[in-house]
Structure formats: structure tokens, C-alpha cells
Amino acid sequence: MKKIIYVSVICALAMSACTTPFKKAKDGSEYKVISDGKGVKAGLGNYLELNVVAKYKDSVLFNTREEGMPQYGPYDTTNMPSPFKEAFRELRVGDSIIIRVSTDSILSKGQAAPFIKKGQYIYQMYKLLNIYSTKEQMDSAQKTHMKVAMEKAYQKQLALVEKDLATNKAKIESDSKIIETYLSKNNIKATKTKWGTYVSIEAEGTGAQLTSKDVATVNYSGHVLDSTNLFDSNIDPKFKHTQPYDVSLGQIGGVILGWTDALMQLKNGSKAKVFIPSSLGYGKQGREPGISPDQILVFDIEVVNALSEEAKQAKQVEQDKLNQAAQQKMMDSIRNANPKIKAELEAKEKK
């Protein structure tokens, strides 16, 4: 059903969409503009918000509607390459542009994906949603759409995880038996998560459990189940990275699945020992040195801080400002201490 909808979307843009003839652009590609001429016209210095759909035959290659994240950029046709220079020249809010590129042209440049064949076309459709006068306005709109896009991306990632769990079900079950035997032998109480990680809470922490909207700052040490030798740690100096580690829980795949799975069971300040089946760790590939294929992992994890994604970004912006201020203060000190350097720097700034 989706394919039928996407294939027809270009022809459904307006009554004249399928009958309007294509024009030839300077680079040889073709374009046409579908417009009623009533929208606000884009001008030099404006910023654009566009939905973009790209398709090849019956396949959709890219769709910002589905991703929930429009494309943004400055409007300056003088610096746009063909065919955008020609197609975007009289752009208005509500206008749609269809660009048709011959696959023969793409193949001749050696830029085609393996599935692209001769004698076909790739269609790109651009729909102008909004025009912004300033970059600040554009950035604000982009942040609003970013929330939607991140949630859609997260749901897609979850679907892939569920598929991966089903594929590795037998291995996860066999690893679970090994982990449960180990827990029983060592008198360790642990809770099994939905994905299959075992979490033994050593310190409860405070507040609500972490969610996909949080960034967890953690300390950790890891070893394989059948050895106490650490393969990594950010609290042991011998590994040379003794600083807390940030994990964005909304970005599945940024860390091994077992970590994401375990952290969702923890709170700010929690300490836990985590037992991870190999399929939720480094799987059949392993990670040398220290982790052979199909090894069960054990991590000691402490959540030293937890912030929402928005709060984390705001904190980073503030830190960047402080860093810039400190750098400027240092440069001012250098200038004032050495008149020659001051004169040279001021001369460069004037240029």
C-alpha cells in the first residue's frame, strides 16, 4: 500500500502535475514547477523548509515525510547547482518541484547504486512548506521537527531490535541458562528484562526509571562471564579514559543492546551488575582483544547522572559559551601582554 501511495504522490500534487512538461536544465537533467502563484515568494537571505521525496521506479529512496524531518537550508539560487538554480528561481510557499534525472547520466559518472539500471529515471520531489526570515527562526522550527524525527527513528530501531531478537532467540535462550546457573551458584539475585539482559540492582538510585528521552552518564567496568579480567573500564586508569561516559538512550545502536536494555531498568544514582547474553553484546564477531565471539558479558554500571536529551543539549550549549568566553579571555590576555601580537591579530581581524 505504501508503495502505491508514494508512486502516486508526485502526480497527485496538483491537477496539472502529470501533464506539465519537463524543462531541460543546464546539466541535462529535467525539471518542472507545479505552482498556483499565490504563495509568498522566496527571496535572497531567506531560509527554506522543504519536504523531499526521491523515488526510483516503484521504490522510495528517501522521504522526509516518513522520517518526520523536513530539509532546511538558505535560499540563494546564484550558488545552487543546476537544476536547482533553474527550478528554484521563482519558488513560492506551497510550490512543488519535480526533478527527473536519467539513470544513464548517473551510471556514466560511476555514482549509481548496484540496483540502478540503464534507461530509467530517478525522480526527486520538493515541496516548499515554509520560508523563514532568519536562521534563528529556521533553527527553532528544526528543533520542533527534530523531536518527531527522533521518536520515529527510535520506533524504527525498536522494530529492528525485535527482529534481531527473534533471529537470535535460540542463542539468547542458551545463554540465559548459562547466566541463570551462574547466578544461582553465586547466590546473585537478578531480574531478567524483556530483551534478555539480567540486572542485579546493588543501589536503587532515586527518581523514575530512565527512558528513551534520557541521557545517562555512567561509570563502568566490564569482563566476560568466565573471567574477572577487565576488558574495558572508565574508572581503571590502565585503560586511559577515566571520565564518565554519556549514553543517549534514544539512539539504539550507540552502545551494545544489553547496555540500552539494562539502563532502562535503572535510575539516577543506581548501581548494578549486568549480565548480557552474547547476542545483546558483541555476538558472533566478538571484539578483540578481550572479547571472543559468542561471549557473555558482565558489567558493573553506575549511573552518576541522568538528564533529559533537551537538558543535556542546553547544558552543552552553555558549556560551549563558557569555553568560548574562556578562549576569548585568553586571547585578550595575550594581546594585552604583547603589543606586537595584539597589532598582528587586529590587522588579521580587519582583513
DSSP assignment of 80-121 equals PPTTHHHHTTT-BTT-EEEEEEEHHHHHHTT---TT--TT-E
**Collapsing DSSP states into helix, strand and coil, what is residue 272?**
strand
**Collapsing DSSP states into helix, strand and coil, what is residue 131?**
strand
How far is 147 from 149, CA to CA, in rounded Å? 5
Q: How many helices (H) and strands (E) does the chain have?
A: 9, 14
pLDDT at 334: 64
C-alpha cell at 117: 539500471
Tens place of pLDDT for every residue, the chain, 351 residues?
444 444 444 444 444 456 788 999 998 889 999 998 899 999 999 999 999 999 998 889 989 988 888 999 999 998 999 999 999 998 999 999 999 999 988 888 887 788 888 999 999 999 999 999 999 999 999 888 888 888 888 898 999 999 999 999 999 999 999 999 999 999 999 999 999 999 999 999 999 999 999 999 999 999 999 999 999 999 999 999 999 999 999 989 999 999 999 999 999 999 999 999 999 999 999 998 889 999 999 999 999 999 976 665 655 556 566 667 677 776 677 667 777 666 666 666 665
How far is 133 from 141, CA to CA, in rounded Å? 12
Residue 239 · residue 233 · CB < 8 Å? yes
CB atoms within 10 A of CB 86: 20
Q: Which residues contact 150 (CB under 8 A, 6 or more apart)?
A: 250, 309
